[in-house]
Amino acid sequence: MTASSSSSSPDGTSVLANVRLPDGDIADIIMRDGLIADITAMPSDNDNGATRIEGYGMLVLPGLVDGHMHLDKALSGLPWMPHPAGPTRLSRIETEKALRASLPPVTERASNLVRQCVSHGTTAIRSHVDIDPDNKLSHFHALVEVREAFADIVDLQIVAFPQSGVLRAPGTSDLLDAALGEGADVLGGLDPIAIDNDLDGQLDILFAIAERHDTGIDIHLHDAGADGLKEINALCERTAACDLTGRVTVSHGFCLGAASPDAFARTADAMAEAGISLATHGGASSPLPPVMALRERGIEVFTGNDNVRDTWSPFGNGDMLERAMLLAWRSGYRTDDDLQVALDCSSGAGARILGLEGYGLAVGNRADLFTVDAETPGEAVAQRPRRGIVLKGGRVVAREGEFSGESGD
């Protein structure tokens, strides 16, 4: 599997012509060597023979960023499978393990989902990948292969994720350590109290590995009530003590959505001081952390699709505009300003956490863009209209909802 994309002029210049900027102005975007060279209201049809990409007056936005996904779990591209998972986390973990051997290779399923995400306008993904004593590093190696194959199509960041726990699955800590040594970008974790029944034990291991590899941590925390708050506050203390400020993410943090005002304020203030970010998928079955209250404290809140049609959930299509809509809908957002916040959670905030340099619709930044049939960013979130063109480094990788950025050997 090799990556390719559309051609441009001999000097590498192309023009995304006749697009609507977020402020409503119609402009041409001149792109050169993968970067935005100029944004101009002047016609640029004959700009030194540049390749013209017609935008048809559609709204142009920076590429979407999926900050929390599980590519190795995906069933994308397979015949419909009735949802088999049970009601608890542990039952879903065991169900998934039992099904692994009957599924096509991870590379095939993950690649299918990457193409689907790109077709909706996503240009960067952070994916967690299961690492446990059963599959060892096989899923991780598969995602490394996917990352290399789609390197010119999407930025893919890999989180080494102990889905079966750390202490309850002996040998997992060594495997996590090995994955970081072989190129995983971030270290994951999972519910130290509910899964491992040992908060300090799991955090001791995670922070030791993170310090050894000088990497950040993105930990799944589903636990509710006092246990969830205890986990987050312990994470804040460790983050400050280990000088990982700004490099730790709580994924989900459902307890924040159900905490008393005083408990929420204390925990959110501790997160802000430690520079801990929050990833939320905006799912309907659990309390939603209050996005605005967290952002007002300076906490980065970003979002991701989480499970997309896999053994954990039958829902999801990989569209980050739909994820922004769900976040806005559950939060009660109605104004365009509020909808813009939901869009930022699905784009700019994720880019900041993933450390994507040169992100955004501005001269000098990377030409990672997409067009959507909307007049404003608010309409794009609320209505999730059709996508026109998706660009990665100024090159077309999807058109009209169809992936076009790859060609086989």
The pLDDT, as a whole number, for residue 119 is 98
CB 123 within 8 A of CB 367: no
Alpha helices in 277-335 (DSSP H): 291-296, 320-331
Question: How much of the chain, in percent, has pLDDT values that exceed 70?
Answer: 95
Is a pLDDT exceeding 80 seen at residue 121? yes
Contacts of 119 (CB under 8 A, 6+ apart): 387, 390, 398, 401, 402, 403
Q: How many CB atoms lie under 10 A from the CB of residue 143?
A: 23
pTM of the model: 0.94
Rounded Cα gap, residues 76 and 120, in angstroms: 15
H helix and E strand count, the chain? 12, 19
**Nearest Cα to Cα of residue 65 among 287, 360, 372:** 360
The answer on pLDDT for 48 being more than 70 is no
Q: Domains in the chain, please, with CATH?
A: 2-62+359-401 (2.30.40.10), 64-354 (3.20.20.140)
Q: Using CA atoms, how far apart are residues 287 and 256, in angstroms rounded to an integer? A: 8
22: three-class secondary structure by DSSP: coil
**Is 341:293 a contact under the CB 8 Å cutoff?**
no
Reply yes or no on whether the pLDDT at 2 is more than 80: no
More confidently predicted of 176 and 101: 176
- What tokens appear for 56 in the block? 């048809």
pLDDT digits (tens, 9 = 90+) for 123-179: 999 999 999 999 999 999 999 999 999 999 999 999 999 999 999 999 999 999 999
Cα dihedral sign, 362-365-371-372: negative
What average pLDDT does this structure show over 288-316?
95
| The pLDDT of residue 212 is above 70 | yes
